[in-house]
Amino acid sequence: MKLNGIFARLIAMNFILLAFLSIFMSVIFMKIQKLNGLMERVTLVEIPVIERADRLSGIILRQIEFREKYLISMDTDFLRQYEQYGGSFRSVLKELDAIISGGSKKEALERLKTAYASFSAEESTYMLGGGQEEHMPSVNGVSSALEHLRGIAAQKREKGLRTSGKLVEQVRTEAFAFIVTGGVLIVLLALTNTKSIAVPIRKLSESTRKVTDGSYPEMVCHGGPSEVRRLSEDFGVMVRRLKESDELRTEFIGNVSHELRTPLTSIREASAMLKEGYFHDDRESSLRLLNIIETESNRMINSVNNILEITRLDLAQDTYEIIKTDINRIVVSSIEKTAPIAARRGITVVNTIEPDLTAFADAEKLSLVFDNLIGNALKYSGAGTQVKISATCSGGVVTVCVADSGAGVDEAELSLIFERYRLGSNRSSEYKGSGLGLAICRKIIEKHGGSIWVKSEKGCGSRFCFTLRA
């Protein structure tokens, strides 16, 4: 995966959105945590303190009420009620002690405890004295301490509620701001990402229309993600190949026109001379004219056959009968066909293939491959050289090679040698062709599921090899 590809860009965009969402969630989470802390403090501390302060106010009043009833009636039930309320007051004080942890409320609670202890001592003296009015204890200290404690708790509760209200408003505002900002960010990221992909594709589409109209734009790569750039580069290669193919086709038409015009002219002239009886009594000259007609006719037939063959291969009209085939027999047949050329040029053709070597192939098509390869080797080789045909079998694959020690292929032409209409720059002037032979070979071998290649060095000959299934 490339870092500048579409997938990487989508990952980056999602990562940005994820980071934005994480920041948003973190801020909201902190605010909610703070809000929860405030509400928990209000709920678990301030409100219980207020409730217990109110309860203590009621308890102390009830305690005083039962004290008076007891002193008037000396009824022990009233005394027991009096003592129970005293116990309840102390129990609530313990609850407050457990709730309050420190600060001003703790100080207020200590003050309440002190005031109640003083009140309890005065109560004991008053009860022992039989309720003498001059010793009547005052509850003002306890009431004042209770009011002070309750006021502090109520103030803190109000402050907590106000702060929580502000926090809620902040959370609401920030959430809205984050939603709006997130929406804008998503739109911007989508526009940026889409622009980086859509613009190059639109330009590529424009280039496609130019090619459709018959022109070939020079610059096709328009940037963008790596996939789009690669598509543009491949499209550029295709445009260059189309342009080259168009140029080659034009050149081919010129070559074929020349190839057909020249032999036709020779045939026409030779036949006219024979018809008019120029060499009526000269058999040798008449035979020379007939040889010209035969040679030029064969030249035309070969050119037309190659054109028809490559057209059939392009249209996939041919059916292949791939069976176990004797490779050596086909090679021997091709050598016999090209023997006159080899003899005339003084070239030796050596076949080193084992007689029993077989491979799965269509004999007729494979014969055409050998005809072309051996014919090419003879065309590009000088007098007194050797063409060697060999084959090896390994791992279920037969590798066949046709090697010559001729002029070799220029390095610049190696990558293009199997393309149609390509004519070698170092071919013999005695033999001309359409440049389709090697293209036909490649098509046939690929139909067999094999591959074909060449190894060559300028001035050191060439070695053409292909593979078949053993």
More confident residue, 456 or 429: 456
Q: What is the 3 state secondary structure string of 263-331?
A: HHHHHHHHHHHHHHCCCCCCHHHHHHHHHHHHHHHHHHHHHHHHHHHHHHHHHCCCCCCCEEEEHHHHH
Write the DSSP string, 29-98.
Answer: HHHHHHHHHHHHHIIIIIHHHHHHHHHHHHHHHHHHHHHHHHHHH--HHHHHHHHHHHHHHHHHHHHHHH
DSSP 214-251: T---S-----SSHHHHHHHHHHHHHHHHHHHHHHHHHH
pLDDT of res. 277: 66
pLDDT of residue 1: 47
Spell out the residues 6+ positions from residue 17 whose beta carbon is closer than 8 angstroms to its own: 182, 185, 186, 189
Q: Where are the domains of the chain?
A: 6-186, 226-315, 323-469
Task: Please give the pLDDT value at position 428.
Answer: 47
Residue 466, both tokens: 């292909």
CA 209-213-216 angle, to 5 degrees, is 80
Listed range (150-159, 302-311, 411-420) with the worst mean pLDDT? 302-311
pLDDT of residue 172: 83
pLDDT at position 221 = 59
pLDDT of residue 81: 92
Please determine, for residue 335, whether its predicted confidence score (pLDDT) is greater than 80.
yes
Of the CA atoms within 13 Å of residue 195, those in its CB half-sphere come to: 6
Summarised one tens digit per residue, pLDDT across range 359-381 is 888 888 888 888 888 888 888 78
pLDDT for 315 beyond 70: no
For 58, 93, 214, 238, 274, the CA distances from 100, given in Å and listed in that order, are 21, 10, 91, 84, 135
Q: Percentage of residues in the chain with pLDDT exceeding 90?
A: 4
- Average of pLDDT values for 181-191? 80
Residues facing residue 397 across a β-bridge: 394, 469
Using a pLDDT cut of 70, give the percent of the chain over it.
73
User: If you compute the radius of gyration of the chain from its CA atoms, what whole number of angstroms results?
Assistant: 54
Cα separation, 435 vs 306, whole angstroms: 9
- Token match 């013999």: residue? 428
Q: How many residues appear in the chain?
A: 470
Smallest Cα–Cα separation from 418: which of 364, 468, 367, 376?
376
* Mean pLDDT, residues 84-88: 90
Tokens 């033999």 identify what position?
A: 431
Tell me if 226-315 shares its fold with 323-469: no
CATH tag, 226-315: 1.10.287.130
Interval 395-418 mean pLDDT: 81
For residue 60, pLDDT beyond 70: yes
Total-model pTM: 0.43
Fold of 323-469: Heat Shock Protein 90 (3.30.565)
Q: What is the mean pLDDT of the chain?
A: 78
Longest dimension (CA), the chain: 181
Give mean pLDDT, residues 168-172: 81
Average pLDDT over residues 142-167: 86
Query: Alpha-carbon distance 78 to 131, whole Å?
Result: 14
Three-class secondary structure of residue 429 per DSSP: coil
pLDDT band at 84 (very low <50, low <70, confident <90, very high): very high
For 236-282, the pLDDT digits (tens) are 777 777 776 676 666 656 656 655 666 666 677 667 766 666 666 66
What is the reported pLDDT for 401? Answer: 92
- Per-residue pLDDT for 306 more than 70? no
* The residue to which tokens 């036949």 are assigned: 271
User: What single letter denotes the amino acid at residue 42?
Assistant: V
Q: Which fold has domain 6-186?
A: Four Helix Bundle (Hemerythrin (Met), subunit A) (1.20.120)
pLDDT digits (tens, 9 = 90+) for 22-58: 887 777 778 777 777 767 776 767 888 889 889 999 9
Identify the bridge partners of residue 390 per DSSP, sorted by sequence position: 401
